[in-house]
Chain A
Amino acid sequence: MMIDRATPPQIIEHAKFHLPEIQQIISARGMKGLFIQKAKLPMVQFTLIVSTGCILDEEGKSGLANLTAILIDEGAGGLSALELNNRFELLGSSIQISINHEFMYFTILSLEEKFEESISLLSKILTEPHFEQTEFLREKSKVLAQLLQIKDEPDTIADRVFEEQVFGAHNKLGHFNLGKEKDIELLSNEDVKNFYHSFISFGRSGFVCAGSLNANDLKKFIDQYVDSFGEEKNVANPMFLVPAKKRRLFYVHKTDAQQTEIRIGNLSGKRSDSDFYAKAVMNTILGGQFNSRINFKLRETKGFTYGANSYFAYRKEIGYFSLTTSVQSEHTVEAVQDIFSELKQIKETISADELEAAKLSIIRRFPSNFETYYQLASGLNTLYTYDLQPSYFDEYLSKVQAVTIDDALTAAKENIKEDEMVVVLVGDKTQFINQVNEFGFDEIMEMNENGEPLISP
Chain B
Amino acid sequence: MKILSLDYQKYSLHNGLEVILYPETSLPITVVNLWYNVGSSRDSKRKTGLAHLFEHMMFQGSRHVKKGEHFKFIQDSGGTLNASTSFDVTNYFEKIPSDFLETALWLESDRMGFFLEALTDETLANQIEVVKNERLERYDNQPYGLTWEKVFGLLYKETHPYHAPTIGYMKDILSYNQKDVGEFFNTYYQPRNASVVIAGDFEIEQTKDLIEKYFGEMKSAKEVSPLLTDAKNLLESKSEIVYDAVSLEKILLVWNTEKIFHENNFALDILSDILTGSKNGRLYNILVLQRELALQVSAFQFSGKYGGFFCVTATAKPGKSLDEIKKIILAELDHLFKNEITSEELTRAKNGIKANFIYSMQSLDSVANHLNHYNFYLGEPNSFSFELSLYEKVEKESVKQCALYFDKPYVDLRFVPKEKEVKL
Contacts and interface: CB of A to CB of B under 8 A. Distances in A.
Nearest to B106: A9
Interface in A337-380: 357, 360-368, 370-374
A153 B142 contact: yes
B29 A367 contact: yes
A372 B90 CA distance: 26
Given A5-B63, A259-B137, A306-B130, A366 B351 contact: no
Contact of A149 (B77, B142, B289, B295): B295
A42 B358 contact: yes
B27 A367 contact: yes
A373 B362 contact: yes
B352 interface: yes
Given A3-B213, A14-B99, A145-B248, A303 B130 contact: yes
A43 B360 CA distance: 11
Interface stretch (A88-96, A167-175, A213-221): A88-96
Nearest to A142: B295
A17 B141 contact: no
B141 A259 contact: yes
Interface stretch (B184-192, B226-234, B277-285, B369-377): B277-285
Nearest to A303: B129
Contact of A15 (B28, B285, B317): B28
A363 B367 CA distance: 25
Given A92-B354, A259-B137, A367 B28 contact: yes
Interface string B102-135: 1100100110001000000000011111101110
A289 B82 CA distance: 12
Interface stretch (B11-19, B66-74, B331-339): B66-74
A434 interface: no
B75 interface: yes
Interface in A41-64: 41-43
Q: Chain A at the B interface: mostly helix, strand, loop or mixed?
A: mixed
Contacts of B217: 1-3
A13 interface: yes
A370 to B, nearest CB: 7
Nearest to A74: B279
Contact of A368 (B95, B103, B130): B95
Contacts of A363: 78
Contacts of B100: 11, 364
Contact of B136 (A3, A258, A302): A258
A457 interface: no
Nearest to A88: B278
B280 A82 contact: yes
Contacts of A5: 63-64, 106, 109-110, 114
A6 B66 CA distance: 11
Interface in A1-25: 1-3, 5-6, 8-9, 11-17
Contacts of B75: 289-291, 357, 361
B355 interface: yes
- Among A141, A142, A290, find the residue whose CB has the most chain B CB atoms closer than 10 A: A290
A9 B362 contact: no
Contacts of B317: 141-142, 145
Contacts of A6: 64
Contacts of B318: 145, 148
A326 interface: yes
A445 to B, nearest CB: 23
Nearest to A292: B75
B76 A357 contact: yes
A246 interface: no
Interface residues of B, number: 79
A362 B77 CA distance: 9
A299 B315 CA distance: 34
A141 B280 CA distance: 20
Given A259-B136, A291-B75, A368-B29, A41 B98 contact: no
A129 interface: no
B224 interface: no
B25 to A, nearest CB: 10
B71 A290 contact: yes
B28 A40 contact: no
Nearest to A9: B102
A42 to B, nearest CB: 7
A301 B126 contact: yes
B344 interface: yes
B248 A149 contact: yes
B247 interface: yes
Given A153-B143, A291-B75, A17 B27 contact: yes
Interface string A263-305: 0000000000000000000000000011100001001111111
Interface of B: 3, 26-29, 63-64, 67-68, 71-73, 75-80, 95, 97-100, 102-103, 106, 109-110, 114, 125-130, 132-134, 136-138, 140-143, 201, 213-214, 216-217, 245-248, 277-280, 285, 288-289, 292, 295, 315, 317-318, 344, 347-348, 351-352, 354-355, 358-359, 361-364
15 contacts: A5-B63, A11-B102, A81-B279, A85-B280, A86-B344, A145-B318, A148-B247, A148-B248, A149-B295, A153-B142, A291-B72, A299-B133, A303-B132, A306-B137, A365-B80
Query: What are the 10 A-B residue pairs with the smallest beta carbon separation, nearest first?
Result: A364-B78, A303-B129, A92-B355, A15-B28, A92-B351, A365-B78, A152-B143, A9-B102, A372-B362, A306-B134
Given A1-B213, A305-B130, 19 more contacts: A5-B63, A5-B110, A9-B106, A40-B26, A41-B358, A82-B285, A85-B278, A141-B292, A142-B317, A148-B247, A299-B133, A303-B125, A306-B137, A306-B138, A328-B133, A357-B76, A360-B77, A365-B80, A367-B29
